[in-house]
Structure 1
Amino acid sequence: MSRPPLPTPRSAGAVQLALLLVGSCMPVLGAVLLSPVLPRMEEEFASVGGAEILVPVVLTLPALFIALGAPFAGVIADRFDRKRLLIGTMVAYSVFGTAPLYLDSLHAILVSRALVGVCEAAIMTCCTTLIADYWTGRRRIRYLGVQTLVTTVSATLFFALGGALGANGWRTVFWLYLVAALVALPMARFLWQPEQPAHEDGQPVPARRLAVPVLVTVVGGLVFYTLIVQLSYVLDEAGVSDSAAIGGITALMSLATAIGAGLFAKATWFGLRPLLVAEFALSGLGLLLVGGAASVPVVVAGAALTGFGTGLLLPTLLTWAVDGLSFAQRGSGTGVWTSALFLGEFLSPLAVGGLAAAAGLGGALGIVGGACLALALLVAVLLRGASGQHAEVFGRAAA
Structure 2
Amino acid sequence: MNQLSSMGEAAAVDRPNPGAAQGAVLLLGSSLTIMGAVMIAPILPKLAAEFVPSNPAAAALVPLVATGPALAIALCAPLAGWLADRVGRKMLLLLATLVYGLVGAAPALLNDLGAILVCRFVLGAAEACVMTCCTTLIGDYWQGETRVRYVNRQVVTIGIVGTAFFVIGGAAGEHSWRYPFYLYLLPILLVPAIASVLWEPLRAARTASSHDDGASATSVKLGPTLAIGYLLVCLGMICSFVVPVQMPQLMIDIGEHSSTMIGMASGVGLLSTLGGSIAWPFLRKGVGRRFVNVILLALLAVGLYLFANAHTVKAVLVAVVIHGFGAGLLVPNSILPLMRKLPLSTRGRGLGGFTAALYLGQFVSPLVVLSGMGAFGGLRPSIVAIAVGAAVVALLWLPSALRSRDDA
Same fold, judged at TM 0.5 (above): yes
Decide which of 122, 125, 147 is 1:115's aligned counterpart. 122
Please identify runs of 4+ aligned residues in structure 1 that moved more than 6 A. Answer: none
> Equivalent residues in 2 for 1:14-53 (5 A)?
14-46=20-52, 47-53=54-60
Given that 1:97 and 1:112 are in contact with CA atoms closer than 8 Å, whether structure 2 keeps it comes out as yes
Distance in 1 separating the partners of 2:74 and 2:251: 30
Offset at 1:262?
1.2
SS at match of 1:98: helix
Decide which of 252, 271, 274 is 2:268's aligned counterpart. 252
Matched, 1:105 2:112: yes
Residue 138 of structure 1 corresponds to: 145
Distance in 1 separating the partners of 2:117 and 2:132: 23
Residue 76 of structure 1 corresponds to: 83
| Counterpart residue identity of residue 226, structure 2 | L
How well do the aligned residues superpose, as a CA RMSD in angstroms?
A: 1.8
Distance in 2 separating the partners of 1:367 and 1:240: 24
| Counterpart residue identity of residue 169, structure 1 | S
Decide which of 234, 238, 255 is 1:218's aligned counterpart. 234
Matched, 1:290 2:296: no
| Counterpart residue identity of residue 126, structure 1 | C
TM-score (norm 2): 0.91
Distance in 2 separating the partners of 1:18 and 1:239: 44
Matched, 1:315 2:326: no
| Counterpart residue identity of residue 182, structure 1 | L
Offset at 1:102?
1.4
Given that 2:291 and 2:401 are in contact with CA atoms closer than 8 Å, whether structure 1 keeps it comes out as no
Decide which of 5, 11, 19 is 2:17's aligned counterpart. 11
Is the deviation greater in 273-282 or in 352-361? 352-361
TM-score (norm 1): 0.93
Residue 346 of structure 2 corresponds to: 329
Distance in 1 separating the partners of 2:232 and 2:303: 19
| Counterpart residue identity of residue 326, structure 1 | P
Residue 320 of structure 2 corresponds to: 303
CA deviations 1:213-251 (Å, max 9, x no partner) are 111221011112111211222122122211222222211
Alpha-carbon distance change, 128 to 109 in structure 1, aligned in 2, over 3 angstroms: same
Matched, 1:240 2:251: no
Distance in 1 separating the partners of 2:238 and 2:16: 38
| Counterpart residue identity of residue 271, structure 1 | G
Distance in 1 separating the partners of 2:313 and 2:329: 25
Residue 279 of structure 1 corresponds to: 296
Q: Which runs of 5+ in 1 are unaligned?
A: 1-6, 394-399
Decide which of 371, 380, 384 is 1:362's aligned counterpart. 380
CA deviations 1:276-326 (Å, max 9, x no partner) are 001000111010001011322111101010000010111111113322111
Offset at 1:381?
3.3
Offset at 1:177?
0.6
Given that 1:272 and 1:386 are in contact with CA atoms closer than 8 Å, whether structure 2 keeps it comes out as no
SS at match of 2:249: helix
Distance in 2 separating the partners of 1:9 and 1:100: 41
Offset at 1:385?
5.6
Offset at 1:131?
0.8
Offset at 1:95?
1.1
Matched, 1:200 2:211: yes
Offset at 1:72?
0.7
Is the deviation greater in 15-24 or in 44-53? 44-53
> Percent sequence identity over matched residues?
37
Given that 1:281 and 1:376 are in contact with CA atoms closer than 8 Å, whether structure 2 keeps it comes out as yes
Residue 3 of structure 1 corresponds to: none
Given that 2:290 and 2:400 are in contact with CA atoms closer than 8 Å, whether structure 1 keeps it comes out as no
CA deviations 1:52-92 (Å, max 9, x no partner) are 11000111111011001001111111122100100100000
Residue 397 of structure 1 corresponds to: none
CA deviations 1:89-130 (Å, max 9, x no partner) are 000011111111111111111111110010000000000011
Residue 67 of structure 2 corresponds to: 60
Equivalenced residues, count: 385
SS at match of 1:170: coil
Given that 2:233 and 2:330 are in contact with CA atoms closer than 8 Å, whether structure 1 keeps it comes out as no
Given that 2:265 and 2:316 are in contact with CA atoms closer than 8 Å, whether structure 1 keeps it comes out as no
Matched, 1:180 2:187: yes
Residue 376 of structure 1 corresponds to: 394
Distance in 1 separating the partners of 2:192 and 2:255: 48
